[in-house]
Amino acid sequence: MKKITLTIAALLSLSFAGCATTTNDTVAGVKRSQFMLLPASSIDKMSSQAYAETLGEAKKKNTLNADPAMLARVRGISNKLIAQVGVFRPDAVKWAWEVNVEKNDQLNAYCMPGGKIMVLSGLVEKINATDDELAAVIGHEIAHALREHGRERMSQAYVQQFGLQALAAFATGAAGSAAVQAAGMGSQLFFSLPNGREQEREADKMGLELAARAGFNPDAAVTLWQKMGAQSKSAPPEFFSTHPANENRIAELKALAPKVRPLYEAAKAK
């Protein structure tokens, strides 16, 4: 009975300790409480290792930063966005940010925990993205990192994978083999677990505000997703997807744009 009581107490303690919001409440209005079981330092270490491996593989294939002009453009846009992250969380200003471009036909970009950004050239070329549209998608990916959505997904996966017993062991500092197994999942989980719909909506909202604060037109987020939608005609209905349906995503972005437009206008006036 005593052991059960201690386990329950540990679970409750960890549950309360692991629930918090990672970013400040701003114009975007993102303030959901998140379940963060795994320590941020561990996740950042995993992501740095995975990012280094990705860079190494791209270098071997001669696809890393193969287009100097595109690299300069992407880094210029990204640096303007990064300069605004302190509004959402002051500690992010000190992250070891890194921005690279890989020659790859996929329409994709990502920002790993700790500020490791990768943009694939297909995203720029296939939709003929403007600077404002690139800012919208890179801002969206930065927002995922600021909200620590990767850490949140991995924390949830840890509980699903190892159960309440491992959760209690983690809380009491005796996780043993389960902790080792969880660490082994590392970057594999980051890439294999998709963001949920709510996480995508949060990244849309914060990314829009981030881009506006950096002086990029918030209306570009709408044209971006219209172009992306045209490239993915076979996308499943929202009910069957973790991503919001394009028409819903666009409607929400249009509704938020007037709220962040003063930030954009103020940034352009400087």
CA atoms within 13 A on the CB side of 63: 15
Count Cβ atoms within 10 A of the Cβ of residue 130 and give its class: 0-12 exposed, 13-18 middle, 19 or more buried: middle
Which H helix or E strand runs over 207?
Answer: helix 197-213
The torsion defined by the Cα of 130, 131, 136 and 138, in degrees rounded to 10, comes to 120
Number of helices and strands (H, E) in the chain?
10, 5
> Which ranges of 1-148 does DSSP label H, i.e. alpha helix?
2-17, 40-60, 68-82, 121-125, 131-146
Decide: residue 124, CB within 10 A, 0-12 exposed, 13-18 middle, 19+ buried. Answer: buried
Q: Is residue 200 annotated as part of the catalytic site, yes or no?
A: no
Question: Which sign does the torsion angle of CA 94, 34, 255, 117 carry?
Answer: positive
Per DSSP bridges, beta strands 98-102 and 34-35 are unpaired
Among 98, 133, 141, 200, which one carries the catalytic annotation? 141
Residues with catalytic function: 141
